[in-house]
Amino acid sequence: KGPGRDQRLPKTLSEAEVDRLLAAARTVGRSTRDRYRNTCLMELLYATGMRVSELVSLPIAAARGNPQMLLIRGKGGKERMVPLSPPARAAVEEWLALLDSEAELERAKGAVPSGFLFASRGKAGHLTRHRFYTLIKELAVQGGVSPAKVTPHTLRHAFATHLLANGADLMAIQALL
């Protein structure tokens, strides 16, 4: 059969490119609400290495109480704990404060607030993977990073690569992912 195909290394982003994406998330959006949401999405994605489907379907209860760790339900219903960085915790706090004020207004009107951290009016009840994909491309353009290089999954690779480059244990990174 011959030798197997070459294993290519996954594409990733430099720390400077990730910083530019995170900065763009703080400034891109039609409203303050959009900017808080974008910041929270990007900080969580980079700080935890979550898959995009895990991120967009994150229940609001998982982020309550200024957590040091998030409980994430991943592929096959497996659960894992991931630590939150201080910038990610700050972004979650700001986003939750905004959501809580909106929830009060909804309850006053008799509506029931969503159980998702990133709710939407769509059928799933939360932000879709596709919408997040387009959002991350917009942030890449605004941040001066090539949109061809940026996908939610490249941020997952960047999370792991940057941890490894800064001395994290390979087995610990594997457990986080």
The DSSP secondary structure of 52-113, one letter per residue, reads: HHHHHT-BGGGGTT--SEEEEE-GGG-EEEEE--HHHHHHHHHHHHHHHHHHHHHHHTTPPP
Range 75-98 burial, b when 16+ CB lie within 10 A, else e: eeeeebebebeeebbebbebbbee
Residue type, 84: L
Predicted confidence at residue 35, as pLDDT, reads: 94
Rounded Cα distance, 122 and 103, in Å: 18
Arithmetic mean of pLDDT, 152-168: 81
**Per-residue model confidence as pLDDT tens digits over 22-60:** 999 999 989 999 999 999 999 999 988 889 999 999 999
**177 secondary structure, DSSP code:** -
pTM: 0.86
Arithmetic mean of pLDDT, 136-150: 91
Q: What is the mean pLDDT of the chain?
A: 86
Q: Above 70 in pLDDT, residue 6?
A: no
Closest by CA position to 95, among listed 103, 85, 107? 103
